[in-house]
């Protein structure tokens, strides 16, 4: 009897295993043979979004998920992500007073679609978008219940809005119906917003995902669960979300009239890649999007290699598997499979900043006069640092080393090295500058230069990078005290103006060099974004001028002048920007990756016959 | 036996309350709100979170609330990071972990015990030395290397050729209770276990076997020298009967101890496997919560873990009495 039972158990185990294998084989067959629904599988190279509420989102990954379901008034163009165009608006906003007051007209036919079982819209599944929704969504950024994470976008921007925020957050109940004098409703589809002062970047802010428009009924009905039950106007709706694992979206059957960009909007290079093939067609093309979160790179790479996701970023350690390092050409085994590659320059500004209020390195002497000696000292340091060596050693030579604070791709980026640049490596000039700074140079090294305190955050290869910096500066006799601290401590030192020399990086919030030039605007000094406390009156005056200017050649000229002013004063050692490489599987059509915005998946199509 | 269990449970109540107190104190040594929001958060933002989470109330009130919620299994507090009820997060994370750790524990223990028995039988000879060499080799290689190799060869290379059904990563439930998802309507899907769990389990077994085999071999070798083995041989018992009946029965105390020690870790899950195979289990939940300083989740998961450890200790004592009549529960 015992023997029989053990045999039965053994048989059962084998049967379950066989059934498992057969089941997986059968499901695989079933999936491949369906082909009715178009499914776009996409990776998210991290643990994904934290929340799906625009007012509370802050990361790129929140953005990536949220914009599939919610939409903003304006949006970046798929054909050129550095430009913006209307999305929920019928036309671009207009102004008659040089950007102080903006007039908006909402697009017809835009509805919120509620895919959930709860009744939100009086028995209907949809409700048209109105002016009130726009004001309500912007007011949510002022409500401390939403953690005020994104309040900085609209702070000191709209007339009466800061006062409204203070008043409402101090009272027991945040009244969304209380008026804001800068919000003026003309009709359900037209409104005006008056700004405190003309600021051109306001339009970019209205293209950022945090300003997406949400329906009040859903927020109030779902409360804390609103993040898990999105109700938007976007091209997709939420199916399932397993935080940190996967996110599945279905096509929104009530999506408004959005067309694929016209043929002429595409560049010649893009047309050569047949990016215009779907010109004029209604989007989205796919029925379903399946995001998978990949915390580790290997699973993402292997999943891409198995043809199971549309594209992958190329992690640094896989670069040589994808490309010939010297020629940067795609490897033949991938090209033969039909895989395409694409690369984008990120709007990065990686640099090492001097504290311009420091008595040794700062911009001014104690009596307030401009210090030529201090500038020469800073320039000596700049000439002694070899950014190309950093690039080769730590970034496989893939970064772009450039001059000034304006990253590649933006107006004002220098096509060649400006004369005012002090970029190294040039040890001869570095030593000359040391002499100009008043130091004694013997055998190529300063004998009396002070030791500089350098701060950077722990983690990554910052320890090794700091050691390289130390070695390079030692070539001209400058020594540094290395302080590797956690990021919050670094911020604390910088905000309190205690860090003499520190490593920092900035990623542009929107594709306009004004965002980077603001890092050197005097009134933004620490604890503001001008962490180096650079102050130059003529620069500040120019900055005041450009924030009201729309893009033009005149504005670009001013950008160049400001950039060169900064280079002349050498308030930092830099600059560097990363380039991101992507591989795209042949079955993903109309695919042009960009990280400037993330709502372009609606333009992507799939061809299952190419899988 | 039941009176013993109830008595032990009662004795452990103050111990558990002490653990909860320590957990709460430990998480409040540094301000959890500052740790979570970072030093760039405004005083207003910090104050708001403190108020929202009840951290502005006296410590004893917070402690009382926490204890009452744990005791009544009311895990409705929300995660700071995900804004979801913690109970919901734990409920979602336990099944994937169980799908990996239970088969892994069962297989590792069974195979290791058998190998331990075989090694003790052939001790000092080639089979023993070979198996021990393999065990040491197995445990000498990093778990991470196994994962990398398993993903690459087991799932990508062999899976691509149709030899294995393993997926590189991911997780699908084996039991489906989703009326809103007709495409997932099948109730029992063992294929999902093969696809998503078998490879992590296999890797876990290979790694775990090294440690367990050495331990069980030592236990069995000691049993081999006992008088009852000589008696059994003298009575003409077969080697198989000696090993699998007499020796195994008498070695149950250390075996149970070893297995029971592992039980709480079934709940904690296998952090590395869950990370690399993208499995939404308890290990990932815990490590993600620690990384993101999601203090309410850490607090509840730690409380749960402590409860499991206490129950395991009591269960171990009871099992001793079950397998060894000489042990008296008093």
pLDDT digits (tens, 9 = 90+) for A93-105: 999 988 899 999 9
Closest approach of B256 to chain A, Cα-based (Å): 22
Confidence class of residue A30 from pLDDT cuts 50, 70 and 90? very low
H or E element, residue A391: helix A387-395
Q: Do B194 and A305 touch (CB under 8 A)?
A: no
Question: Could you give the CA distance from residue A82 to residue B296 in angstroms, rounded to a whole number?
Answer: 41
Q: In terms of residues, how long is chain B?
A: 330
| Closest in B49, B181, B288 to A244, CB measured | B288
Cα four-point dihedral sign B250, B251, B256, B257: positive
| Residues of B (163-182) whose Cβ lies below 8 Å from A | 165, 168-171, 181
Residue A27: its chain B contacts at CB < 8 A? 189, 191
- In 3D space, the residue among A356, A393, A360 whose CA is nearest the CA of residue A469 turns out to be A393
User: Residue A181: is its pLDDT beyond 70?
Assistant: yes
pLDDT in tens, chain B (330 residues): 778 788 888 888 999 999 999 988 988 877 788 777 765 566 777 787 888 778 888 999 999 999 999 988 888 888 888 888 999 999 989 889 989 988 999 999 999 999 999 998 888 899 999 999 998 888 888 888 999 999 999 998 998 888 888 989 888 888 765 544 555 555 667 788 999 999 999 999 998 888 899 999 999 998 888 898 889 989 998 888 888 888 888 888 888 888 888 877 766 667 888 888 888 898 888 888 887 788 899 999 999 889 988 988 888 888 887 777 776 666
For A211-228, how does the pLDDT look when each residue is reduced to its tens digit (9 = 90+)?
999 999 999 999 988 999
> For residue B39, what pLDDT is reported?
54
> For residue A373, what pLDDT is reported?
95
For A293-308, how does the pLDDT look when each residue is reduced to its tens digit (9 = 90+)?
988 888 999 999 999 9
> For residue B177, what pLDDT is reported?
56
φ/ψ bin of A478: left (φ > 0), alpha (ψ from -120 to 50), beta (otherwise): beta
User: Residue A494: is its pLDDT beyond 90?
Assistant: no
Question: Could you give the CA distance from residue A507 to residue A516 in angstroms, rounded to a whole number?
Answer: 9
Structure tokens at A526: 């620490």
The burial class, CB within 10 Å (0-12 / 13-18 / 19+), for B87 is middle
What's the longest Cα–Cα distance across chain B?
82
- For residue A494, the chain B residue with the least C-alpha distance is B40
- The mean per-residue pLDDT over the stretch A59-68 comes to 92
DSSP state of B155: I
For A224-265, how does the pLDDT look when each residue is reduced to its tens digit (9 = 90+)?
889 999 999 999 999 999 888 899 999 999 999 999 999 999
Rg (CA), chain A: 28
* CA-to-CA dists, residue A453 to A105, A353, A358, A364, angstroms: 54, 12, 11, 19
The burial class, CB within 10 Å (0-12 / 13-18 / 19+), for B146 is buried
User: Residue A57: is its pLDDT beyond 80?
Assistant: yes
- The mean per-residue pLDDT over the stretch A437-464 comes to 90
**CA angle at residue A332 from A329 to A333, to 5 degrees?**
135
**CA angle at residue A249 from A244 to A250, to 5 degrees?**
165
Structure tokens at B291: 């990384």
- Tell whether pTM > 0.85: no
> For residue A31, what pLDDT is reported?
39
> For residue B43, what pLDDT is reported?
74
> For residue A404, what pLDDT is reported?
94
User: Residue A22: is its pLDDT beyond 50?
Assistant: no
> For residue B178, what pLDDT is reported?
54
User: Residue A203: is its pLDDT beyond 60?
Assistant: yes
At residue B129, φ and ψ (nearest 5 deg) are -65, -40
- In 3D space, the residue among A152, A56, A58 whose CA is nearest the CA of residue B52 turns out to be A56
Q: Do A296 and B284 touch (CB under 8 A)?
A: no
DSSP3 helix / strand / coil % (chain A, rounded to 5)? 35, 20, 45
> For residue A28, what pLDDT is reported?
37
Mutation target among A20, A224, A305 for the B interface, most CBs of B within 10 A: A20
- In 3D space, the residue among B309, B287, B279 whose CA is nearest the CA of residue B204 turns out to be B279
Question: Could you give the CA distance from residue A603 to residue A283 in angstroms, rounded to a whole number?
Answer: 6
Closest approach of B42 to chain A, Cα-based (Å): 9
- Percent of chain A residues topping a pLDDT of 90: 70
Question: Could you give the CA distance from residue A104 to residue A91 in angstroms, rounded to a whole number?
Answer: 8
Q: Which CB contacts under 8 angstroms, 24+ apart, belong to A312-318?
A: A312/A43, A312/A582, A312/A583, A313/A43, A313/A45, A313/A580, A313/A581, A313/A582, A314/A581, A314/A582, A314/A583, A316/A395, A316/A396, A316/A398
DSSP state of B194: I
Q: In terms of residues, how long is chain A?
A: 611
* CA-to-CA dists, residue A455 to A473, A497, A503, angstroms: 15, 12, 6
Structure tokens at B248: 């195994």
For A560-611, how does the pLDDT look when each residue is reduced to its tens digit (9 = 90+)?
999 999 999 999 998 999 889 999 999 999 999 998 889 999 999 999 999 8
Question: Could you give the CA distance from residue B175 to residue B278 in angstroms, rounded to a whole number?
Answer: 19
User: Residue A91: is its pLDDT beyond 90?
Assistant: yes
CB-based contacts of A153: which residues, under 8 Å, 6+ apart? A141, A205, A208, A210, A211
The burial class, CB within 10 Å (0-12 / 13-18 / 19+), for A262 is exposed
User: Residue A439: is its pLDDT beyond 60?
Assistant: yes
- For residue A148, the chain B residue with the least C-alpha distance is B45
Indicate the average pLDDT of chain A: 90
Question: Could you give the CA distance from residue A72 to residue A89 in angstroms, rounded to a whole number?
Answer: 9
Q: Do B84 and A243 touch (CB under 8 A)?
A: yes
| Closest in B48, B160, B275 to A295, CB measured | B275
Question: Could you give the CA distance from residue B234 to residue B168 in angstroms, rounded to a whole number?
Answer: 54
Closest approach of B156 to chain A, Cα-based (Å): 6
> For residue A532, what pLDDT is reported?
93
- In 3D space, the residue among A47, A69, A75 whose CA is nearest the CA of residue A116 turns out to be A69
DSSP state of A436: H
Q: Locate all alpha helices (DSSP H) within A87-207, ordered by sequence.
A: 131-140, 161-170, 201-205
Residue B89: its chain A contacts at CB < 8 A? 243
Enumerate chain A positions whose Cβ falls within 8 A of a Cβ in B: 16-17, 19-27, 47, 50-51, 56, 144-145, 147-148, 169, 224, 227-228, 240, 242-246, 292-296, 298-299, 302-303, 305-306, 488-489, 491-492
* CA-to-CA dists, residue B199 to A242, A275, A303, A395, B166, angstroms: 22, 40, 16, 34, 6
Separation of CA A395 from chain center: 20
User: Residue A461: is its pLDDT beyond 70?
Assistant: yes
Question: Could you give the CA distance from residue A586 to residue A588 in angstroms, rounded to a whole number?
Answer: 6
> For residue B328, what pLDDT is reported?
65
Question: Could you give the CA distance from residue B196 to residue B178 in angstroms, rounded to a whole number?
Answer: 19
Q: Do B38 and A488 touch (CB under 8 A)?
A: yes
Closest approach of A16 to chain B, Cα-based (Å): 7
- In 3D space, the residue among B256, B249, B253, B271 whose CA is nearest the CA of residue B312 turns out to be B256
- Percent of chain A residues topping a pLDDT of 70: 94
| Closest in B45, B191, B193 to A148, CB measured | B45
Closest approach of B174 to chain A, Cα-based (Å): 10
> For residue A522, what pLDDT is reported?
92
> For residue A345, what pLDDT is reported?
86
Confidence class of residue A133 from pLDDT cuts 50, 70 and 90? very high
> For residue A32, what pLDDT is reported?
37
Rg (CA), chain B: 24
The residue with greater pLDDT, A190 or A392, is A190
């Amino acid at each position: 009897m015992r023997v029989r039972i053990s045999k039965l158990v053994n048989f059962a185990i084998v049967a379950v295993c066989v059934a498992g294998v057969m089941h997986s084989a059968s499901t695989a067959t079933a999936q491949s043979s369906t082909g009715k629904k178009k499914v776009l599988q996409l990776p998210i190279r991290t643990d994904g979004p934290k929340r799906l509420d625009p007012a509370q989102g802050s990361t790129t990954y929140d953005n990536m998920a949220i914009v599939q379901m919610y939409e903003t008034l304006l949006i970046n163009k798929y054909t050129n992500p550095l430009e913006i165009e209307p999305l929920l608006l019928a036309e671009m906003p207009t102004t008659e007073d040089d950007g102080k007051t903006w007039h908006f007209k909402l697009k017809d036919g835009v509805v919120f679609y509620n895919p959930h079982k709860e009744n939100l819209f009086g028995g209907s599944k949809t409700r048209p978008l109105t002016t009130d929704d726009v004001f309500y969504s912007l007011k949510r950024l002022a409500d401390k219940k939403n953690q005020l994470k994104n309040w900085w976008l609209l702070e000191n921007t709209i007339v009466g809005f800061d006062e409204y925020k203070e008043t409402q957050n101090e009272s027991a109940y945040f009244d969304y119906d209380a008026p804001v004098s800068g919000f003026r409703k003309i009709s359900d589809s037209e409104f005006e917003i008056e700004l405190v002062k003309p600021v051109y970047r306001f339009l970019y802010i209205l293209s950022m995902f945090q300003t997406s428009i949400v329906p009040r009924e859903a927020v109030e009905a779902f409360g804390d669960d609103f993040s898990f039950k999105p109700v938007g106007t976007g091209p997709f709706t939420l199916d399932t979300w397993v935080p940190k694992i996967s996110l599945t979206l279905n096509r929104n059957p009530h999506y408004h009239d959005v067309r694929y960009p016209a043929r002429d909007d595409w560049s010649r290079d893009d047309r050569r890649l047949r990016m215009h093939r779907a010109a004029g067609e209604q989007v989205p093309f796919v029925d379903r999007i399946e995001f998978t979160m990949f915390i580790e790179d290997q699973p993402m790479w292997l999943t891409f290699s198995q043809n199971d996701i549309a594209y992958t970023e190329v992690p640094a350690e896989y670069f040589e598997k994808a490309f010939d390092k010297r020629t940067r050409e795609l490897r033949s085994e991938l090209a033969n499979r039909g895989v395409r590659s694409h690369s984008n320059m990120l709007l990065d500004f990686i640099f090492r900043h001097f504290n311009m209020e420091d008595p040794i390195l700062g911009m001014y002497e104690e009596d307030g006069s401009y210090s030529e000696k201090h500038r020469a000292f800073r320039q000596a340091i700049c000439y002694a640092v070899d950014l190309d060596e950093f690039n080769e050693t730590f970034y496989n030579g893939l970064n772009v080393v450039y001059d000034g604070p304006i990253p590649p791709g933006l107006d004002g980026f220098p096509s060649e090295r400006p004369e005012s640049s002090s970029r190294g490596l040039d040890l001869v000039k570095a030593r000359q500058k040391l002499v100009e700074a008043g130091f004694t140079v013997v055998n190529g090294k300063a004998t009396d230069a002070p030791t500089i305190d350098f701060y950077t955050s722990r983690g990554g290869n910052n320890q090794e990078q700091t050691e390289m910096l130390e070695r390079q500066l030692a070539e001209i006799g400058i020594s540094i005290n290395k302080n590797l601290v956690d990021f919050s401590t670094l911020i604390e030192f910088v905000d309190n103006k205690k860090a003499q020399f520190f490593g920092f990086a900035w990623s542009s919030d929107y594709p306009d060099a004004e965002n980077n030039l603001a890092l050197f605007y005097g009134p933004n000094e620490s604890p503001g974004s001008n962490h180096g406390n650079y102050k130059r009156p003529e620069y500040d005056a120019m900055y005041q001028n450009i924030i009201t200017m729309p893009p033009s050649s005149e504005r670009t000229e001013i950008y160049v002048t400001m950039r060169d002013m900064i280079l002349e004063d050498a308030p930092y050692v830099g600059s560097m920007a990363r380039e991101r490489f992507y591989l795209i599987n042949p079955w993903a059509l109309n695919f042009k990756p960009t990280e400037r915005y993330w709502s372009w998946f609606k333009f992507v199509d799939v061809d299952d016959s190419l899988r | 036996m039941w009176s013993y269990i109830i008595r032990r449970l009662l004795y452990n109540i103050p111990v558990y309350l002490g653990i909860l107190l320590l957990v709460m104190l430990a998480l409040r040594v540094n301000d959890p709100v500052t740790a979570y929001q970072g030093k760039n958060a405004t005083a207003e933002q910090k104050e708001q979170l403190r108020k929202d989470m009840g951290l502005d109330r006296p410590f004893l009130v917070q402690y009382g609330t926490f204890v009452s919620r744990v005791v009544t299994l009311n895990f409705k507090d929300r995660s700071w990071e995900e804004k979801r009820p913690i109970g919901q997060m734990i409920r979602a994370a336990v099944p994937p972990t169980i799908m990996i750790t239970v088969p892994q524990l069962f297989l590792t223990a069974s195979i290791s015990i058998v190998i331990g028995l075989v090694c003790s039988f052939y001790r000092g000879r080639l089979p023993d030395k070979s198996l021990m060499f393999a065990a040491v080799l197995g445990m000498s290689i990093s778990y991470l290397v196994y994962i990398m190799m398993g993903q690459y060869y087991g799932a990508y290379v062999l899976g691509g050729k149709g030899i294995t059904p393993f997926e590189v990563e991911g997780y699908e439930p084996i039991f489906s209770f989703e009326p809103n998802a007709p495409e997932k309507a099948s109730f029992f899907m063992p294929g999902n276990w093969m696809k998503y769990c078998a490879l992590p389990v296999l890797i876990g077994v290979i790694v775990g076997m090294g440690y367990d085999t050495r331990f069980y071999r030592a236990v069995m070798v000691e049993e081999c020298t006992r008088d009852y083995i000589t008696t059994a041989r003298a009575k003409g018992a077969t080697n198989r009967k000696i090993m699998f009946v007499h020796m195994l029965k008498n070695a149950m105390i250390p075996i149970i101890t070893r297995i029971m020690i592992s039980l709480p870790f079934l709940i904690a899950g296998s952090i590395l496997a869950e990370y690399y195979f993208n499995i939404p289990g308890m290990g990932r939940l815990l490590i993600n919560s620690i990384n993101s300083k999601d203090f309410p989740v850490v607090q509840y998961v730690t409380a749960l873990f402590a409860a499991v450890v206490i129950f395991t200790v009591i269960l171990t004592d009871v099992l001793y009495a079950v397998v060894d009549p000489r042990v008296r529960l008093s």
